[in-house]
Amino acid sequence: MSSISVAIVDPQTPGNVGTIARGMKNFGLSELLLVNPPELDPDGEAYGFAGHAREDVLPNAREVTFDHLVENYHTVGTTAVTNEDARKHVRYPFVTPAELADTLRDVDTDTCLVFGREDVGLTNEEMAQLDQVCSIPASADYPVMNLGQAATVVMYELRELTVESTQHPDGIDRADEAEIEGLYDQFDALLGSINHPEEKRAKTGRLFRRLVGRAHPTDREARTLRGVFRRASEFASPPDDR
């Protein structure tokens, strides 16, 4: 059974530990490992920033050594600063978070995502001991992300491997084609009822078909609009036709 854990090395502010714990719970992760953490006061920022993760991820966090990570996990070191130079292997070759998800998808491994200090990240000596390097593509002008934000992006990309079910329904409930065709027919009927110039009707009908076609309407949207057009047609018909 594969697992993905998160380790933070030498975090300097309790708030960031809490923020990362929250992100972990958002994306279905639970094991938080801390190397040389600050004190996490139950009344302090770590718990204050953790949201519902204050109930499980944060109180279950374990303090471990860096060597413990190296010895027990397939470790992935994260960094904004990669080598351009293929002759140095401390931070190269690296994968992006999306590529990391691809490489882990079919592998049976206990993986640990390792995040470093707020200011200097992971040292070269630490990176050299980790198995894989992961780097988030960001603006060349300023690629260095806040620790909590960077961790969240990596966990977000790995969500397929860790989130059993999301809060979203299983896809948008697109209307049946017949319902949508009925909407087009009703629109054409409306064009007739309002005496839209005969020679323009087909073209206007196509315009409406293209607009709706791009939007993939739900059943509710298609039926509601169809009802509106039907009623508009009735109102538009001359009184003696009613």
CB 2 to a second copy: min, Å: 17
Least distance in angstroms from the C-beta of 79 to a second copy: 10
Indicate if the alpha-carbon torsion angle 132, 136, 137, 142 is positive or negative. Answer: negative
For a second copy, give the closer residue by CB, 64 or 225: 225
Q: Whole-number minimum distance, CB 236 to a second copy, in Å?
A: 26
The residue among 66 and 229 lying less far from a second copy, judged by its C-beta, is: 229
Find the shortest distance in angstroms from Cβ 131 to a second copy: 12
For 53, list phi and psi in degrees, rounded to 5. Answer: -70, -10
Distance CA 20, CA 155 (A): 10
Exposure string for 188-221, b = 16+ CB within 10 A, e = fewer: bebbebeeeeeeeeeeebeebbeebeeeebeeeb
Distance CA 84, CA 135 (A): 12
Nearer to a second copy, 119 or 198 (CB): 119
Nearer to a second copy, 25 or 40 (CB): 25
Binding site for a second copy (CB under 8 A): 19, 22-23, 25-28, 49, 51-53, 80-82, 84, 86-87, 89, 92-94, 96, 135-146, 148-149, 152-153, 156, 159, 163-169, 172-173, 218-221
Q: Please state the closest distance from residue 198 (CB atom) to a second copy, in A.
A: 33
Comparison of 153 and 236: residue with beta carbon closer to a second copy: 153
Give 37 or 97: the residue with its C-beta nearer to a second copy.
Answer: 97
Residue 141 or 199 with smaller CB distance to a second copy: 141
> To the nearest whole angstrom, how small is the minimum distance from the Cβ of residue 191 to a second copy?
26
How far is CA 202 from each of CA 57, 116, 188, 206, rounded to the nearest angstrom? 61, 63, 8, 6
- Exposure of 56 by Cβ count < 10 A (0-12 exposed, 13-18 middle, 19+ buried)? middle
Least distance to a second copy from the beta carbon of 39, Å? Answer: 21
Q: How many CB atoms lie within 10 A of CB 169?
A: 7
Q: Distance (Å, rounded) from C-alpha 142 to C-alpha 162?
A: 30
Tokens coding 135: 């780097």
